Amino acid sequence: MATPHAAIAASSAARSPSVQWIACTVLALPVLLVVLLIVLLGGGLAADAAVGAPVTVRPGAVPAAYHPLILRAARTCPGITAPLLAAQIEAESGWNPDAHSPVGAQGLAQFMPGTWTSEGLDGDGDALRDPFNPADAIASQASFMCTLLVAVSDDDQLTGDPLNLALAAYNAGLGTVRRFGGIPPYPETQGYVRRIRGLTAAYADAAGSALNAGPPGSWTSPMTGLVSSDFGPRGGRLHAGVDLVAPIGTPIYAASNGTVLAAGPASGFGRWVKLAHAGGVTTVYGHLDSWTVTVGQAVQVGQLIAYSGNTGRSTGPHLHFETRVQGDAVDPVALYAAHGTVLR
């Protein structure tokens, strides 16, 4: 309990303008923090909503009954895209919802009963978890692949592309992948990974994916995003391209007609795609989340080739885009201008 003198002092202090300002500020801080959190979380939710854009599956490639299920499942996490899920189902069951394997795997996504017990989901809200129900199987497939992708990405004892490792874990088990420190030396598992990566490109909606791509031989912007860093000196060295900022999973398109020279892990870039074009021009797309093309594949201007990410030496989700002439880096803005196009 306060003494009378203390009460009088407190009353006088309360009438002081400076004390009143401090009190108001203290009371307002929680409100400001809540508003800030809402803004930040809202931005994060908006970024997540861009992942797994539903237009990434080639029209007619997926059986009509399963198409909406694939699109919904592709929003489960970054990196697990609709074309990848479709390719995996083809490899697992050939789109047969009643498939049984000789070793006991079941349904479209070929879950073993033990794995289904821990990983199976109720995908259609009917309070049942049935591996032979396509809605349950596809939702569970995407969720399990996301779990595996996180597990292999966080394990610094593993070597190799995380998506390939996740696919290998789906086929042979996460424990087996960890025991070998990467994709196990099993022909079945290695063939499984190669087949799915090839099928992913076949399922992707490649033709005319980019808006205003232009006729063959023209040039178009590789991605819709804000330019955060231009070509030129940066930190005492040459920044050999431009950086375009966008949420993880944003589609990336071929800048012009060309041939795929590289697609996969690359030092510094994390994951990249490199294309060769006419006139000795090459383009580089770095820090990717995943890609949809294979080495040697011909691509057209505006064709979907990858999804943006935050891999390699990256300070945040973006695309690092380079243009090179006879192997020498040139300013992409200048190269586009030389071709009568603006790099947006």
**Tens digits of per-residue pLDDT, 277-320?**
988 899 999 999 999 888 888 888 889 999 999 999 888 899 99
Look at residue 138 and tell me if it is in a domain.
yes
pLDDT digits (tens, 9 = 90+) for 261-276: 999 998 889 999 999 9
Asked whether residue 251 falls in the same domain as residue 170, the answer is no
- List the structure tokens of 312: 């390699």
Query: Where do the DSSP E strands lie in 187-317?
Result: 226-229, 232-234, 237-239, 242-245, 251-253, 258-266, 270-276, 281-286, 288-291, 298-299, 304-308
Residue pair 271/290 in contact (Cβ under 8 Å)? The answer is yes
Asked whether residue 81 falls in the same domain as residue 195, the answer is yes
Q: Given a cut of 50, is residue 236 above it in pLDDT?
A: yes
Look at residue 105 and tell me if it is in a domain.
yes
pLDDT digits (tens, 9 = 90+) for 216-226: 668 889 988 78
From 148, 169, 203, the end of a domain falls on: 203
Average pLDDT over residues 138-150: 95
List the CATH number of the domain containing 251.
Answer: 2.70.70.10
Look at residue 92 and tell me if it is in a domain.
yes
Residue with tokens 């790099």: 343
Look at residue 45 and tell me if it is in a domain.
no
- List the structure tokens of 78: 């970054």
Look at residue 48 and tell me if it is in a domain.
no
Identify the burial level of 136 via C-beta atoms within 10 angstroms of its C-beta, where 0-12 means exposed, 13-18 middle and 19 or more buried: buried
Whole-model pTM over 0.95: no
Asked whether residue 194 falls in the same domain as residue 238, the answer is no
Number of domains in the chain: 2
Asked whether residue 268 falls in the same domain as residue 138, the answer is no
Asked whether residue 169 falls in the same domain as residue 67, the answer is yes
Q: Any idea which residues carry the catalytic annotation?
A: 92
What does each C-alpha distance from 162 to 16, 79, 110, 139 come to in angstroms? Answer: 62, 10, 21, 21
Distance CA 45, CA 244 (A): 20
DSSP count for the chain of H helices, then E strands = 10, 13
Asked whether residue 187 falls in the same domain as residue 260, the answer is no
Which residue(s) pair with 282 in the sheet?
Answer: 276, 324
Asked whether residue 106 falls in the same domain as residue 72, the answer is yes
Asked whether residue 120 falls in the same domain as residue 153, the answer is yes
Which residue(s) pair with 100 in the sheet?
Answer: 106
Asked whether residue 175 falls in the same domain as residue 107, the answer is yes
List the CATH number of the domain containing 143.
Answer: 1.10.530.10
Strands 226-229 and 242-245: antiparallel
Distance CA 248, CA 52 (A): 9
Range of 263's domain? Answer: 226-338
What is the percent of the chain where pLDDT is above 90?
43
Asked whether residue 231 falls in the same domain as residue 199, the answer is no
Residue with tokens 């012009």: 256
Look at residue 1 and tell me if it is in a domain.
no
Residue pair 65/134 in contact (Cβ under 8 Å)? The answer is yes
Residue pair 265/275 in contact (Cβ under 8 Å)? The answer is no
State the chain's mean pLDDT as an integer.
80
- Give the containing element (helix H, strand E) for 320: strand 318-325
Asked whether residue 231 falls in the same domain as residue 185, the answer is no
Look at residue 50 and tell me if it is in a domain.
no
pLDDT digits (tens, 9 = 90+) for 158-206: 988 788 899 999 999 999 999 999 999 999 999 999 898 778 767 876 4
Asked whether residue 198 falls in the same domain as residue 140, the answer is yes
Look at residue 29 and tell me if it is in a domain.
no
Residue pair 191/183 in contact (Cβ under 8 Å)? The answer is no
Residue with tokens 């490199």: 274
Strands 226-229 and 298-299: unpaired
